Structures are given as C-alpha cells and as structure tokens.
Amino acid sequence: MGIQYPGSGSYKPVTKQQHLDAYKQKFEEQDLNKDGVVTQQELLASMPETNNPNAGFFQSLAIMHFDSKDTNKDGVVSFEEDQAHAGKVFDTYDENGNGTIQKNQGLFGTPYKDD
C-alpha cells in the first residue's frame, strides 16, 4: 500500500468525487453544442484528428463504449448516464471499498488500481 515503484508510472489516490468531476469535465468537453447530451457525432468530433491507420478501430471502440453508457438507448448519452457510468467504473476498481482508487498518471499500464 502506498509504495511507488520507479518506472511503473505514478499512482495517485483519487476519491469518488474527484473521479466523477474528471468525467464531468470530459463530458463537458465532448458536449460540443452544450445541449447537455453527447451524440455519437460529438463523440467522434471530439476525438483527436489522426492519420493513424487504426483510427477506425479506435472509433468503433469509442462507439461501443458510448452504447454501453447509453442505458436508456435513446441514442445519446446524458450527463446522468455518464455520471452513472463513472460511478460504476469507480466501484469496479475500489475492490476494498475504502473510497479511493489509485489512478495511473503514466502513459502505459492499467489506468486504475485499488489501493
């Protein structure tokens, strides 16, 4: 617990509120026309422009992820749906239920782990 291994990326403790706030910020970035919901078009438009030959692959992953957030299947992701998803992600990683997870600030490796 709390040990930082050099070269493995640094893990920072994140509370559920911080985690939800991070999703909120991302949601607001993706909601380009600020109508409170994110459409597939907005999601794709908010993805970085790339010449990567795998761009289509990443786009289809993003759409799959989008569909899993759209729990009422109306074709758009509302702020509430996004926050509900964020909460589920947090709870999945907070295996010991102590209310914090650790977020990897490094480029590689799993993005989260329990502390």
Q: Is 52 in the site for Ca ion (CB under 5 A)?
A: no
For residues 52 and 55, give the distance between their C-alpha atoms in angstroms, rounded to a whole number. Answer: 5
Of 1-9, 26-34, 58-66, 95-103, which segment contacts Ca ion by CB under 5 A? 26-34
Tokens of 106: 């490094």
Verify binding: residue 31, Ca ion, rule CB under 5 A.
Answer: yes
**For Ca ion, the closer CB: 41 or 52:** 41
Question: Which residues from 57-86 bind Ca ion, rule CB under 5 A?
Answer: 70, 72, 74
Closest to 92 in 3D by CA, of 111, 70, 65, 72: 111
**What is the distance between the alpha carbons of residues 80 and 72, in angstroms, rounded to a whole number?**
11
Per CB under 5 A, residues contacting Ca ion are 31, 33, 35, 70, 72, 74
